[in-house]
Structure 1
Amino acid sequence: SGLPPGEYTLTVRAINSYGQQGEPATTTFRINAPAVPATIELTPGYFQITAVPRLAVYDPTVQFEFWFSETKIADTSQVETSARYLGTGSQWSVSGPHIKPGKDFWFYVRSVNLVGKSAFVEASGRASNDAEGYLGLFREKIGKLHLAQGLWELIDNSQLADEMAEMKTSITETRNEITQTVSKTLEDQSATIQQIQRVQKDTNDDLAALYMLKVQKTKNGIPYVAGIGAGIEDTDGQPLSNILLLADRIAMINPEDGNTTPLFVAQGNQLFMNDVFLKRLFAASITSSGNPPTFSLTPEGKLTARNADISGAITANTGTLNNVTINENCVIRGKLSANQIEGDLVKTVGKAFPRNNSYASGTVTVTVYDDQGFDRQIIIPPVLFRGTKHQNFN
């Protein structure tokens, strides 16, 4: 329309061919950039975070623009150059193996309409840290694999003879090696299974025994590899045995009673387990499940606990205690400052009169300094003397 931003009043009335006009109808509207999102609700999922922004007052003409970053952006003016643009809509989900549990991720969201865009609003969140739920997710994903289905099936020994006939085997006596390869090519992809058994001598005349099973698929010129290797070789002059696994995902499943839930799953440099018994644990940080966590211990030594029952000794230099009850004796060796005290608080000071030879004689001056921020009542009880005259007859 070309109208500048602002508040407008529109009045409309009907008019007939004779020029007669009806009663006017009036409405108000505005042409403004939208308000910033009032809140951004982040819902954690398994390798997923969903952002749902909301306005303080609902406006159906407003949508939201979503930007994403794996690190915090200190200056929101740099969002468009430092963050990744996701899209525009009413909500947005980010998912994938890179959305790892225990790691903070940042969303930068702004409101948009036909007039303009609001400022960015930042929100940070994490994926779900429910280990049991992740194991269930892995159970479902792994159960759909041809590999898992093949492992769970019993081996039919009657088919081994035909399958072995299709296998290419090479034996190299000079290197003491047996290599078996099965390969298949289909248009732009190929798959190969190779088993290698090798005994070799290194430059120090030390023998090494190696077994390797490698599975490789090449698609569109990109190789994808999985493998397992076992071997014994000398390292720093001492024999060392190794078992190495190469895969995007490693899982162990106990098939007892038809179980298909993995004992553990390793994926994306993270390990997911259900029950763990450890004699000793060394960890840079510890965080309990829940959002927010009920317990955390950071590398800086900051301990956060929503409800703690501590029966041992506590040593602290500073801190704040709210609604605390001291059941037994308390010793305060420093200065105590209190705004309010309920109950009796008494300070007693004794002062001896000067002595003249063997009896008290003279006066005592008491000085009280009014150096406190509260009223005090001073009570000096009367001093009574009672005695008899003593006469020396010697």
Structure 2
Amino acid sequence: MIRRYSLSSGSRKSGLRISGRLKLTARYLGTALYWIAASINIKPGHDYYFYIRSVNTVGKSAFVEAVGQPSDDASGYLDFFKGEIGKSHLAQELWTQIDNGQLAPDLAEIRTSITDVSNEITQTVNKKLEDQSAAIQQIQKVQVETNNNLNSMWAVKLQQMQDGRLHIAGIGAGIENTPDGMQSQVLLAADRIAMVNPANGNTKPMFVGQGDQIFMNEVFLKYLTAPTITSGGNPPAFSLTPDGRLTAKNADISGNVNANSGTLNNVTINENCRVLGKLSANQIEGDLVKTVGKAFPRDSRAPERWPSGTITVRIYDDQPFDRQIVIPAVAFSGAKHEREHTDIYSSCRLIVRKNGAEIYNRTALDNTLIYSGVIDMPAGHGHMTLEFSVSAWLVNNWYPTASISDLLVVVMKKATAGISIS
């Protein structure tokens, strides 16, 4: 079975079928085994929709839609237009060398030709000087093609021969009936093309085309398609490449930034930042872990300076996550004093209160007691105040002998990721 395909295209989404037919916004391309879309009507940077269906002896299938964009290869487009322009009668006329061999060394001539296939007026001015020659020719022509299509053109071309090299400058306008339809064009041929606004004696050009480059002082564009954009500087301070790589030495971005990957060096985040995924960090300075420590106050009435007083620790509910308060071991002890008839003891008491409620109260004599604790602090439940009060005494108001280690309080984020206990 031989299978062929019917193809249509459009610059807008047409919808696949209306009563079995495409909307009229699509243009029928033809029937073929495959199709390459190439036309001066196809613009870079725009979406084009193609509708394809299979056609064979059994019948026709439903249309299938495909969307694509033209190539962004600027060099390829220039080659394409070179071919299109080169095929035109106007371009061939501009490139054709003026035949000075039929002219006298110094001549001004006007020639008129009227035939069945062409009406033409040609005006030529010529000058020769030793091995140099220069000619100016103006052409006005209307001609009939073999397929009875009319073509019209007007051109002025200047040619100068020196040292065996031909130098050309010219301008031409023409209208031709091509297979793609009527095509009008204006062509310029010169080593340098420039436009100058002579207002107020100005001589500075607003743009210059020379070689393969165009130079402009200021440009206002509604829409720009540019595969590569590069600023000045070596290396450039700004560049954007076809693969989407953006390089900027100094960027001020006041809007939204969406990025899937990348690296940031020496960055300061001035305001709030939320990390919804997993955060891995080797070094963190901030509020995930806080520690405070202090020695208990002491009574100064005796050289021994026994412990006496209160330390107050206030933890603020200023984080959006649950935390735990860890109090590492606090060791406190009294002392035994041996007497002839009976022993006496120095006592040391530690009382711990959480938000005013007592959670620990023990007294040590000649032994050492240890207090440590882990206290949950859920986010949003308010601030927490911990009070650690120590006192010591001996009978008859004698100076006691007692001791207590320094207080350390650690506040950290409560989490179970990466750790388990059983």
TM value normalised by structure 2: 0.46
Task: Find the structure with the greater CA-based Rg.
Answer: 2
Instruction: Give the TM-score of the pair, scaled to structure 1.
Output: 0.48
